[in-house]
Amino acid sequence: MSMVGISTSTSQEMSAPSPAAGAAPVYSSAIVPPVSQPEANSKAQNIQVTEKALKRIHAAMAKEGVSANEGGLRLGITGGGCSGLSYNIRFDSKPRERDRVYKYEYAETPVQIFVDPKSFLYLSGMVLDFEETIMRQGFNFINPHSTRSCGCGSSFTA
């Protein structure tokens, strides 16, 4: 599990403790099922998002002036970091041609998540959660494909 924060100017990455081997991950709130998704045939193919993460995405989109009907949050993977792969999170004004688009409802407003085909190989089946404590604040990527992450939590190995 890695933690990535999002702010209005830059993305920050923070570490989070990994759950013990064999332990079920703990989410900060309930998982919200997507209203629409590209491939509904397998739950493992979904990008799942918790209620707290949707609330944070919704608020940040409003603050940044990102259109809820066209724009959304882009989740991706880039090469680099101490463990080989890093999470990338940012807003985008519209999906790209080959993106998988997941739509969720929050406060009667759509929240869209865009994932490019290459990143989807590493993100399918993951849960996006948001944690806010005294010690840290940011998004948690609970990713079943992550076999190891670096000490700072900003990169992982699949």
Between CA 81 and CA 87, with CA 86 as vertex, the angle to 5 degrees is 155
pLDDT in tens, the chain (158 residues): 444 444 322 233 333 444 444 555 666 677 777 777 665 445 556 889 999 999 999 999 999 999 989 999 999 998 876 667 888 899 999 999 999 999 998 888 899 999 999 999 889 888 999 988 888 888 888 878 776 665 555 556 66
89 Cβ contact list (under 8 Å, min separation 6): 4, 6, 11, 73, 74, 75, 76, 139
CA separation for the pair 15, 141 (Å, rounded): 11
Strands 48-50 and 127-132, sheet pairing: parallel
Domain 2-15+34-157 in this protein, CATH class? mainly beta
Per-domain residue ranges of the chain: 2-15+34-157
CA separation for the pair 64, 57 (Å, rounded): 10
